[in-house]
Amino acid sequence: MRASSTPARRAAAAIHFRNEIEKAEAAGASRDDMLLHLTLSDVSQIKRDRSLALTDINFAGETMRFLGVKVEQGGVTESVLIRPT
């Protein structure tokens, strides 16, 4: 038998990036120094996620923050959490 060529399905964007943010913070990174560069699809998914608390997403001016981490929307093919170096 041949293995399926479809990629493994990732957890919901909010769950995936909550875990990534918590790992980075446990490693000593500050949420103020992190950046979430998300696909437009992941941004939309997070905005519509009914399991999130209202305090998990914040909009100030033109800046969106998820769990206190600044979000940059679009311009990438895969969402990524950028940690300080």
| Coil vs helix vs strand at 60 | strand
**pLDDT given at position 23:** 96
Confidence of residue 14 (pLDDT cuts 50, 70, 90): very high
Report the pLDDT value the prediction gives residue 82, as an integer from 0 to 100: 97
pLDDT given for residue 9 in this prediction: 55
| Token code pair at residue 72 | 């940059």
43-76, pLDDT tens digit by residue? 999 999 999 999 999 999 889 999 999 999 999 9
Taking all residues of the chain, what is their mean pLDDT, rounded to a whole number? 90
